[in-house]
Amino acid sequence: MQLWCTEKQTESLGLTARVKETLFTGTSEFQDVAIVDSFQFGRMLVLDGVFQTSIFDEFVYHEMIAHIPLYIHPNPKHVLVIGGGDGGTIREVVKHDSVEIAEMVEIDGMVVDACKKYLPEISAALNDNNPKVHLKIGDGIQHMKDAENKYDVIIVDCSDPIGPGEGLFTHDFYKDVFKALKSDGLFVQQTESPYYHQELIKRLHKDIQSLFPITNMYLANIPLYPGGLHCFTIGSKKHDPAAVDMSNRQKLVTRYHNAELQKSCFVLPNFVQELIK
C-alpha cells in the first residue's frame, strides 16, 4: 500500500508527496510534529500538516533567509533567529566570521529535538554545539518585548501565520523588532507566497514600511513551498540592499546564494511590484 502526505496549500490546492517511511510523530504543547521520508523530497519536517523543510531543497530557503541580510549589514556581530527549530538558518548564520553571537529562540523544543535526530544535516550547528550558538526554548514574541538596542540582525524564520506563528505577523511585533535592533540594524522575515498570500503580503509590507525607512522584498524559488516561489521582506534602519559591495566580503561555499543573486533577487516581477506599491 502506498502512503501519501498532503499539505493543503489553499482551499482549492494541495501538494502531495509519496512517503517511504514515517520517522517521527508527536504532539507538543503547540502543534503536531512529524518527520517523514518521502520519495521526491527526502526527509521532511511537517508541522500541523504543513511542509516546513526538506533535505531536497532546504538549502535554498536557509541560505536566502540568512545570507541576504547578513551581507547587507556591513558588520553583523550579534544575530538573533526567531523560530528556525530545524536549525538550518542558524547553521548558515554561524558561517559568517563577523558573527560572534548567534542567538536562537524557538518555542517548540520537540521540533528542535526531532530535527537534531532525524535531520542532522540541517541541524548541524546545534548537533555540533557550535560555540557561537545560544539556544533558548521560549516565546520569540516575549523575547522581542524584553530586548532593546541589542541586535545587528534579526531573522524571523517562522512557520505560517497560524497557530504558534500567528503573533509574528503583527504590527506590534514589528514595533518590538525595531526596538530590539541597534541604530543601524535590520531584520528579515519569510513572508509566504506572492501567488497565494497576496493580501497578507500587502498588509505586512505596509506594517513594516510604517516603521522602517528602508523596506524591500526579495524572492527565491523553493519547490516545496506553495507556488514554488517564496518571498522575504527586509526592514532596515540604515543599510540599503542596493548598496552592498560583495567584492570585499567573506566568500562562502553555497549551493544557491551567490554575489550576483545578492542583488538580483530584489528584482521583482511586475505583479509582485503591484502588491507592495
Q: Are residues 64 and 46 in the same domain?
A: no
pLDDT averaged per 10 residues in sequence order, the chain, 277 residues = 90 96 97 98 97 98 98 98 98 98 98 98 97 97 96 93 81 97 98 96 97 98 97 98 94 97 98 96
Among candidate residues 26, 53, 80, the one where a domain is terminated: 53
One DSSP character per residue, 245-268 reads: -GGGSPP---SS--HHHHHHTT--
Q: Residue 30: what are its φ and ψ, rounded to 5°?
A: -115, -30
Q: How far apart are CA 226 and CA 199, in angstroms?
A: 15
Domain range for 111 is 58-275
Q: Are residues 164 and 195 in the same domain?
A: yes
Q: Are residues 16 and 128 in the same domain?
A: no
Q: Are residues 12 and 106 in the same domain?
A: no
| Secondary structure of residue 52 in the 3-state scheme | strand
Q: Are residues 139 and 161 in the same domain?
A: yes
pTM of the complete model: 0.97
Give the catalytic positions in this structure: 157
